[in-house]
Chains A and B, each alone.
Chain A
Amino acid sequence: MKKLVGLIFPTQSDAVILVISIILITLLIASAALFIVHKIAPEKNIKELVERTKSWWIMCGIFFGSIFINNEIAYIFLAMLSFWAFRELYSVLGFRSADRSAILLALLAIPIQYALAYIKWYGCFIIFIPVVMFLILPMILVIKEDTHRITKSMSLIQWTLMLSVFGISHLAFLLSLPDLEGFESGGRGLLLFLVFLTEMNDIMQFCWGKMFGKHKILPSVSPNKTVEGFVGGVISTTIIGYFLRFLTPLSPVYAILVSFVIAITGFAGDVVISAIKRDKGIKDMSNAIPGHGGIFDRIDSLSYTAPAFFHLVYYLVYPHL
C-alpha cells in the first residue's frame, strides 16, 4: 500500500506517504465493513453511513490529489475551497441588494489573498483581509447610498470573509513556509497534520459523546455536544497529535501543546457554525456533500484551527524577524 501511494505522490516525504496510506487503509476497512454488514444483514438501514463513507472517499481523493501532486493546483484548490465556503456562508446569512458590489469585491479578494500566499509575501498576506478589505468594504457599501441596515452588512461581509477566506488561506501559507534543515515533510507535512488532526478531533468528540455523553455542554447551541465528548475528544486528539509529530518539526512537548490547541479551537469553530445554523433554523449549510451537508459543515473547525496552528508553529519553530 505504502509503495503504491509512494508511486502516486513521488515528491512527498516518507512520513506524508505513511499517513496517507494509513488514511486510505482506514477507509478501505470502513468500506469493507459496510459491505459485509450489507451482505449479512441487508435489512439494516446503513444508507446514510454508506453515503458518508462514499463522500469521505471523494473528499480524500480530491484533497490528496490536489494538494500533494502539483504545487500550483494545491493553491488553486484551496482558493476554490474558500470560494465555496464564502458563497455558502453569505447565501445562508442573506444580504441586501445594495450589498452586491461589496460582495463581488470580497470575492475578488480570494484570488488576491491566495496569490499573496503563493508569492510568500507574508506581511501583506496577514493584513490584506483584516486591514485592507476591512477598510475598503464599508466604503463600497457607502457609495450605494442605502444606509438602511448598513451596519449589519458592513460587519457580516467582513466576518464572512474572515472565517471562510482569511482562516482557510492559512492552509495555503503553510505550503509557502521556508524549508527547515532536517525537516523533510515541509509545509505539506504540516498541512496534513493539521487537517488530519482537526477531522480526527471532530470524529473523536462525536464518538466520546455518543459513548459516554451525559452532561450537555452548550444545550441551546448544539444539543448533541457533551462535556464528556469534549474532554474525551481533547485528550484523544492530544495523544494522536503526539504520535503524529513525525509529520512536523515540533518537539514532543510542543507537539502536545499544538495538538491541545487544535482540539480546543476545533471545538470552538464547530459550535460557532452550529450557532449560526440554529439562528437561521437550518440543519445543514447547503447540500454540497451528500451525507455531510455543506462545505462549512465539514470545514467549520478548520477555519478556527488553521490560523491558530499556523501562528503557533510559526512562532515556535520558524525563524522570524
Chain B
Amino acid sequence: MKKRFLQATSMTVLFKGFIYWILKIFVGIQYADCSFLKKEKQFILIANHNSHLDTLSLMSSLPSELLPKVKPVAAEDYFGNTKLKAALSNYFFNTLLINRKGNTGKENSALDKMLQALDDGYSLLLFPEGTRGEPEQMGKLKSGIARLLVQRPNIKYVPVFLAGMGRSLPKGEMIILPYNANMHFGEPSVACSSDPHEVMEQIENEFHTMMEKFRIKDDDEEDEEE
C-alpha cells in the first residue's frame, strides 16, 4: 500500500509538476480540458499515435487523481526489451506491456492482460494503430480494442484525436521541434453492439469525423482542393 502511494505521488510530481509545464512552455502542447473524465469510474482512452509525445501529453493532461489509475498499453518488444526500461516504464508510466504479435502464443495474452487490468479497476490508454506510423497519417486500427469493448460492455471508451504531435517529434527523429500541437477529446460512449466488427466501425467512424475536423492539412492538399 505504501509502495503504491509512493508511486502515485512520484507520478503526480513527474507529470503534473514537471512534464506538463515543459510540454506547455517549451514544446507548445495545447492541452484540452478533460476534467469530465473524473465523472467516469473507468474508461478506455483511444488515441491516434504519431509520436512519443502522445503518451506524455495525454498522461500529463489527466487530472492528478486519475493519473495513477490509468495504464498506458505499450509494446513489450519496444518498452520492455531491457529490464531497466521495463522497470522504469512500469514505475513512472504504470504501463501495461503487451506482446504486439497478439495470437502467436498458446493464448491470446495481450487481450487477457488488458481484461485483467480492467477487472483490477484500472483505466486504459490505448493506441489501436499499434505503431506510430507516418507523421500525421492515421493507420488502420487493430481490432483488439473492439474485442475488449465487447467483452466488457459497461466500460466506456473515449476517443482522443491528437493533431500535430507527429510534426513535433515524428518517428525516426531524435530532436523535438517545438510545435503548437492540439488534443481533442470526444464523447465517452459504450460499445454499440456485441459484434466486434460493428464496434470497430463505430470507432473508425468517430475517428474519421474527428480527423476531417481537426487534421492538419499539407499545403499540397490545400492547393489540390482549390
Binding site for B on A (CB under 8 A): 83-84, 87-88, 91-92, 94-95, 97, 100, 103-104, 107, 149, 152, 286-288
Least Cβ distance of A89 to chain B in Å? 10
Using CB atoms, name the residue of chain A closest to B177: A100
Instruction: Say whether B68 faces chain A, with CB atoms less than 8 Å apart.
Output: no
Known: A286-B30, A287-B30. A94 touches B178 (CB 8 A): no
Instruction: Say whether B107 faces chain A, with CB atoms less than 8 Å apart.
Output: no
Contact A97 B170 (CB under 8 A): yes
Residues of A close to B28: CB separation below 8 A: 84, 87-88, 91
Contact A94 B216 (CB under 8 A): yes
Contact B164 A91 (CB under 8 A): yes
Binding site for A on B (CB under 8 A): 28, 30, 135, 164, 167, 170, 173, 175, 177-180, 216-220
Contact A91 B173 (CB under 8 A): no
Residues of A close to B216: CB separation below 8 A: 94
Using CB atoms, name the residue of chain B closest to A99: B177
Using CB atoms, name the residue of chain B closest to A83: B178
Known: A94-B219, A149-B219. A87 touches B180 (CB 8 A): yes
Contact A97 B135 (CB under 8 A): yes
A83–B26 Cα distance when bound, in Å, is: 9
Contact B30 A103 (CB under 8 A): no
Residues of B close to A87: CB separation below 8 A: 28, 178-180
Using CB atoms, name the residue of chain B closest to A148: B220
Least Cβ distance of A44 to chain B in Å? 25
Least Cβ distance of B164 to chain A in Å? 7
A103–B168 Cα distance when bound, in Å, is: 11
Most interface-central of A97, A149, A286 (chain B CB within 10 A)? A97
Residues of B close to A83: CB separation below 8 A: 178
A91–B182 Cα distance when bound, in Å, is: 11
Contact A88 B177 (CB under 8 A): no
Least Cβ distance of A76 to chain B in Å? 13
Contact A104 B177 (CB under 8 A): yes
Q: How many A-B residue pairs have CB under 8 A?
A: 35
Using CB atoms, name the residue of chain A closest to B173: A100
A88–B27 Cα distance when bound, in Å, is: 11
Residues of B close to A97: CB separation below 8 A: 135, 170
A87–B180 Cα distance when bound, in Å, is: 7
Residues of B close to A103: CB separation below 8 A: 177
Least Cβ distance of A299 to chain B in Å? 15
Contact B219 A91 (CB under 8 A): no
A83–B180 Cα distance when bound, in Å, is: 12
Residues of B close to A152: CB separation below 8 A: 219
Residues of B close to A149: CB separation below 8 A: 219-220
10 A-B pairs whose Cβ atoms sit less than 8 Å apart in the complex: A87-B28, A88-B180, A91-B28, A91-B167, A91-B179, A94-B216, A97-B135, A103-B177, A104-B175, A152-B219
Least Cβ distance of A157 to chain B in Å? 12
Residues of B close to A288: CB separation below 8 A: 30
Contact A286 B177 (CB under 8 A): no
Least Cβ distance of A93 to chain B in Å? 9
Using CB atoms, name the residue of chain A closest to B218: A94
A88–B167 Cα distance when bound, in Å, is: 13
A84–B178 Cα distance when bound, in Å, is: 9
A220–B163 Cα distance when bound, in Å, is: 29
Least Cβ distance of A228 to chain B in Å? 35
Residues of B close to A95: CB separation below 8 A: 167
A104–B174 Cα distance when bound, in Å, is: 12
Least Cβ distance of B219 to chain A in Å? 6
Using CB atoms, name the residue of chain A closest to B164: A91
Residues of B close to A286: CB separation below 8 A: 30, 180
A95–B180 Cα distance when bound, in Å, is: 13
Least Cβ distance of B167 to chain A in Å? 8
Residues of B close to A84: CB separation below 8 A: 28
Residues of B close to A287: CB separation below 8 A: 30
Residues of A close to B177: CB separation below 8 A: 100, 103-104
Least Cβ distance of A49 to chain B in Å? 21
Residues of A close to B30: CB separation below 8 A: 286-288
Known: A97-B135, A97-B170. A91 touches B180 (CB 8 A): yes
The 8 lowest CB-CB distance pairs between A and B, nearest first, are: A91-B180, A87-B178, A286-B180, A87-B28, A91-B179, A100-B177, A287-B30, A88-B180
Residues of A close to B178: CB separation below 8 A: 83, 87, 107
Residues of A close to B217: CB separation below 8 A: 94
A101–B173 Cα distance when bound, in Å, is: 11
A169–B217 Cα distance when bound, in Å, is: 31
Least Cβ distance of B180 to chain A in Å? 4
Using CB atoms, name the residue of chain B closest to A95: B167
A83–B178 Cα distance when bound, in Å, is: 9
Using CB atoms, name the residue of chain B closest to A279: B222
A88–B182 Cα distance when bound, in Å, is: 12
Using CB atoms, name the residue of chain A closest to B181: A91
Least Cβ distance of B33 to chain A in Å? 11
